[in-house]
Structure 1
Amino acid sequence: MVSQRAGGGTGRAFQRVADTLRSRLADGRTYPIDRLLPSERELAAEFDVSRDTVQRVLRELRSEGWIRAEQGRGNRVVKTQSIHSPDRPRGQAEQVNLAVVLDKAFAAEKVTLDVYSLTSESLVGRLQEQAGRIRRGEISPQGIKVRMLLPAKDALMDLPRRVDGGDSSPLLERLHGIIDVMAGMVCKTLEDLQTEGRVPSVKVSVRHTRARPQFKLYLVNRTEALHALYRSERRAITLHGGETVDAVDVLGMQATLIHYEEGVDPESHGSLFVRESQLWFDEEWADSLSGATSHPMGATAGEQKRVRP
């Protein structure tokens, strides 16, 4: 995406910086809890945007509960994305996060990732990390297959909405813009690896659902699952034009992810959850719409139809 100084516009620069910082905050290791973020000047230089853009992004991150402003010190991280792994021995749950799960998955020869989510925003930074590992020669998967189920533009979306009952269409337009951008970034991040000759086979497919997802689900190599319920929260949202509105929004990156892993016992909680979730996803995928209301990079013209009547 193009920065504000390069002519991309205030809204686009704002979204780019906000998305990147959220991803770093969510992973729990780029900016751990209790660490100070880089200064406004440093962030403006890194992203090649104005300090005004950085200040607006930081206000939004504070409204979402990621960071807290401290007089004379800066912005301190107070929240990351929590992951709980009930099948792991006591004391090991903190060792599991999305980055660790994907580190393990991408070390395999064949990588499969099925995603059901609102925006796929949490994935972008983590997949870029894996692409970096591949380019550095640390891992060398021979095939990557990703399927993403995301809301269609005409899906029944009750959130986000204005608290005052006013027109919520700008909020929905903003959300669908994020959905399209994030899906495009996932596709480009992975497809570039095949274009560069680093991974022999890469296939990224995007299909759409008619309803707002109530939860997010990642199925990794058909042996692990990460699941989280979306929560709604009242917060201030800055629109692309700079207007800030009081809204009820869906917050997914802060939701607690529960980690399940297939075990030796096929009837264990982990094995059952992974197996049943994979069956559910496969059925939803077959009944979904492909490229019905948007055409992010990676979707093919042949998928512009309903798979089942």
Structure 2
Amino acid sequence: MPTERPSIPLPLQIADKLRARIEDQVYPLGEKLPSQRLLADEFGVSRETIKGALDRLESEGFIKTRQGARSEVTRTQGAPAPGEEADETSVVRSRQIHTDARREEAGAHSLESVIERAFLAKDVTLDAYSLTTESLGRHLGKQLDAVGRGDLRPDSITLRLLVPSGDFPLAYPAAVDQGDSRPFERWRRSADEHLTTLKNKILMVRDSDRSTTDVRLEIKRVELTPTVKFYVLNNETLLFGLYTLAPRNMILDDDSVVLALDVLGLQSNLFYHSASDSETQGHLYFTEFQAMFDGLWRHAHGMLKMYPPGR
């Protein structure tokens, strides 16, 4: 019988959200965060909870807090923390999307803008395979919020996500000391939280009286550790990135530190290919990755669940 997975403490949840804003340059390097009072009002928590979140970010080197002053961003996601050595895999990478297609504008697009464009279609489809749904879920959430408000009105949205099962340890993240399962447990709790957030967004759209969109989310958990992440949007656009494995100091939920092998997911470069790029290799990349996803979806051992439930 599976054991109950502990929830992530509230200060750590808020730290994750603030870290994501730093990574997305909502708070760029050198920028000051809002005051603790404003953050407490925004998240509906006590200032003590906000202080706990800021303490976590400061311990990771993302911000510097001085008494009587607002916290300042001192590190961006992927850059070495104080005391860590920088190497070619720990420097901040551009999240620009790269392409060999003869579309000048495609190379400058971000994941966010590609998803925004995809949601303008009459019928939105997305097949995704990744280690977590963190970066994808953040951008999907914005579009689903717009659908729930009635600002976007596609006829249908169909999302198919392939993610690791979480029932068996992954190749990474993993402690260098192979007897320590805490990095895997931390990944599992975080991955579950991101999926739960996305499920709630789906239910929000279904229950909204301002939306007539037929929305469906299918999640298949497979017993695999992804070495790439890729997204196929509207049977037309492919985005894929490679996971780069590197050792790093991982701060756990109890503030202990463990040396772990992990991948740079949020900082992965993404490569863009289109099914219609007949003058390049783009259409072949698209076809092969779509076939890879379909094969895993049909044949990889795992559990399939659909949301909203009962569909």
Tell me if TM exceeds 0.5: yes
2:251–2:257 CA contact under 8 A, matched in 1:
yes
| Partner Cα distance (2:180, 2:94) in 1 | 28
Task: Please give the per-residue CA displacement for 1:102-153, whole angstroms capped at 9, x wherever unaligned.
Answer: 1101111111111100111112221221123224443211111001101112
Matched residue, 1:122: 135
> Who is 1:107 aligned against?
120
Shift of 1:21: 3.2
Structure 1: distance between partners of 2:170 and 2:277: 40
Residue in structure 1 matched with residue 59 of structure 2 by the alignment: 59
1:21: which partner in 2? 18
How far apart, in 2, do the equivalents of 1:282 and 1:176 lie?
A: 25
- Are positions 1:139 and 2:136 aligned together? no
- Match for 1:180: what amino acid? D
SS in 2 for 1:211: coil
TM-score, normalised on structure 2?
0.78
Secondary structure in 2 matching 1:24:
helix
1:191 aligns with 2:186: no
Query: Deviations 1:174-214 (Å, cap 9, x if unpaired)?
Result: 11111212112112212320221414311101112212111
Q: What is the CA-CA distance between 1:229 and the residue it aligns to?
A: 0.7
2:251 alignment partner AA? T
Q: Secondary structure at the match of 1:141?
A: coil
**Superposition deviation, residue 239 in structure 1:** 2.0
Letter in 1 for 2:9: R
The question of whether the paired residues in 2 share the 8 Å contact of 1:19 and 1:121 is answered with no
Match for residue 173 of structure 2 among 160, 178, 183: 160
Counterpart amino acid of 1:53?
Answer: A
Select between 245-254 and 84-93 the one with higher mean Cα deviation: 84-93
C-alpha separation between the residues in 1 aligned to 2:259 and 2:158? Answer: 39
2: CA distance between counterparts of 1:199 and 1:179?
Answer: 29
Q: Quick check: 2:162–2:219 contact (8 Å CA) kept in 1?
A: yes
Query: Which residue in the other structure is 2:72 paired with?
Result: 74
CA distance in 2, matches of 1:144, 1:250: 30
Rate the CA distance shift 1:290–1:298 in 2: closer, same or farther, 3 A: farther
Aligned residue among 208, 223, 248 for 2:236: 223
Contact 1:233 1:249 in 2 (8 A): yes
| C-alpha contact (below 8 Å) 1:111/1:141 kept by paired residues | yes
CA distance in 2, matches of 1:176, 1:114: 21
Q: Distance in 2 between matches of 1:301 and 1:196?
A: 18
Q: Deviations over 1:36-61 (max 9, x none)?
A: 2514625455333231222203433x
Deviation at 1:75, TM superposition (A): 0.9
Greater displacement, 154-163 / 220-229? 154-163
**2:307 aligned counterpart, secondary structure:** coil
State how 1:86-101 maps to structure 2 within 5 Å. Answer: 86-88=99-101, 92=105, 95-101=108-114
Cα-to-partner distance string for 1:64-102 (whole Å, 9 max, x where unaligned): xxx475988711464475123223558645630111011
SS, match of residue 50 in structure 1: helix
Alignment check: 8 A CA contact 1:216 1:228 kept: yes
Percent of aligned pairs sharing the same letter: 27
Q: Is it true that 1:170 corresponds to 2:182 in the alignment? A: yes
Indicate the SS of the match to 1:118. Answer: coil
Matched residue, 2:297:
285
Q: Quick one: distance in 2 between partners of 1:25 and 1:260?
A: 28
Q: How has the CA–CA distance of structure 1 residues 264 and 88 changed in structure 2, closer, same or farther, with 3 Å as cutoff? A: closer
Extract unaligned runs of 5+ from structure 2: 1-5, 77-91
- In 2: Cα distance, 1:43 partner to 1:158 partner: 37
2:307 to 298, 301, 304: 298
- Indicate the larger mover: 109-118 or 68-77: 68-77
- RMSD (Å) for aligned C-alpha atoms: 3.1
Measured at CA, do residues 136 and 301 of structure 1 come closer, stay the same or move farther in structure 2, by a change above 3 Å? closer
